[in-house]
Amino acid sequence: MQRILPIVFAAALAGSAQAADVQIGGLTIHDPSAKQSPKGADVGAAFMVIDNRGNADRLVAATADNADHVEIHEMAITDGVMKMREMPGGLDIPAGGKVELKPGSYHLMLMGLKQPIAAGATIKGTLTFERAGKVAVDFVTPPAAAK
């Protein structure tokens, strides 16, 4: 029994590092998270999966309490060159589909960080959708890996 308790405790801690899913209308936001930023960085990145079981919608804006403003970005490699661009018109969320915001693809850029994003931090934010409206989210940063 003594060997099982540390494993159960570690599993409970690991589960607490994952953000809760959030639902608004037909949209479910899975695992909103932020990447730990290097010391002195003034930008960061946030990710999630948006699952749409309703009508087409569009992510048009976002906020994060640790940033001056948030931009919706797309990163792609074209002809061997990485390009990142803001998507000022927002990000389409197709009806009955899902969009993954992840490294190397769509993501949220947290601009003008008030402090670097630390391991284990939770950043409060909002997502604004064209049709579904605003929803509060917690961007959870995974804890530092054990050494």
Residue 13 in any domain: the answer is no
Please give the angle made by the CA atoms of 26, 48 and 75, to the nearest 5 degrees.
Answer: 120
Residue 136: give its domain's CATH number: 2.60.40.1890
Q: Which domain holds residue 119?
A: 19-140
Quick check: 65 and 136 in contact, CB under 8 A?
A: no
Q: Considering the domain boundaries, does residue 111 fall inside one?
A: yes
Binning the chain into helix, strand and coil, the percentages to the nearest 5 are 10, 55, 40
Within a domain: residue 38?
A: yes
Residue 11 is assigned to a structural domain of this protein: no
Q: What pLDDT digit, counting tens, does each position of 81-101 carry?
A: 989 999 999 999 999 999 999
| Of 41 and 12, more confident | 41
Q: What is the chain's Cα-based Rg?
A: 17
The answer as to whether 73 is a domain residue is yes
Q: pTM surpassing 0.95?
A: no
For the chain, the domain total comes to 1
